[in-house]
Amino acid sequence: MAKKKEGHVIAQNKKAGHDYFIEETYEAGIVLKGTEIKSMRAGRMNLKDSFARISNGEAFLHNAHISEYEQGNRYNHDPVRARKLLLHKKQINELIGKTQQKGYSIVPLKVYLKNGFAKVLIGLAKGKKNYDKRETLKRQDAKRDIDRALRERQKG
């Protein structure tokens, strides 16, 4: 039998690092239907524009798109339904307290498989202003230039 990949990343929210300052991260399980996990294992998931929200003491992932499974026929799922996240009560209470502060939200960063189970890495995020985004881009460009110069120096 083939060995499963450990920490196999299924989907990443690359825009989250650009739009938010990520202050804390939490690993959460996700409640899925049978055709959803099959579609996820095929890599057919998108986290663009998705977010997490806490309601009635439970965390839910909204707007995460998992494509329908081709062989799922009538057992297929709604691609953008709200999915429950599995967190400890203490973690949920922490998130409730922190998201009530102005400017904080819960953003999914990536979805991956761990020991055969689907996990979501969610981050407590504070929105960036436009000038923060420009500053981040400048810093990344400067770091890239420095790395390039060091590589050229090592070659020569």
pLDDT digits (tens, 9 = 90+) for 54-73: 999 899 999 988 888 777 77
pLDDT of 71 = 76
pLDDT beyond 90 at 2: no
146 within some domain: no
145 within some domain: no
Confidence at 75, pLDDT banded by 50, 70, 90: confident
pLDDT beyond 70 at 156: no
pLDDT beyond 70 at 153: yes
Closest CA to 49 of 39, 67, 57, 61: 61
At 143, list the tokens: 């770091």
At 19, list the tokens: 């739009």
Residue found under tokens 């959803």: 36
Comparing 52 with 77, the larger pLDDT belongs to 52
136 within some domain: no
106 within some domain: yes
7-25 pLDDT tens trace: 688 888 888 888 888 899 9
pLDDT beyond 80 at 77: no
43 within some domain: yes
Question: Which residues of 31-103 form beta strands (DSSP E)?
Answer: 45-46, 51-55, 58-62, 65-66, 83-86
101-149 pLDDT tens trace: 888 889 999 999 888 888 999 999 888 788 888 888 898 899 999 999 9
Q: Within 13 Å of residue 104, how many CA atoms lie on the same side as its CB?
A: 16
155 within some domain: no
**CATH number of the domain that residue 56 is part of:** 2.40.280.10
117-129 pLDDT tens trace: 889 999 998 887 8
Confidence at 6, pLDDT banded by 50, 70, 90: low
142 within some domain: no
Number of domains in the chain: 1
Using left for φ > 0, alpha for ψ between -120 and 50, and beta otherwise, residue 35 falls in alpha
pLDDT beyond 50 at 1: no
At 83, list the tokens: 């999915």
Q: Which residues pair with 114 in a beta bridge?
A: 117
**Boundaries of domain holding 74:** 8-127
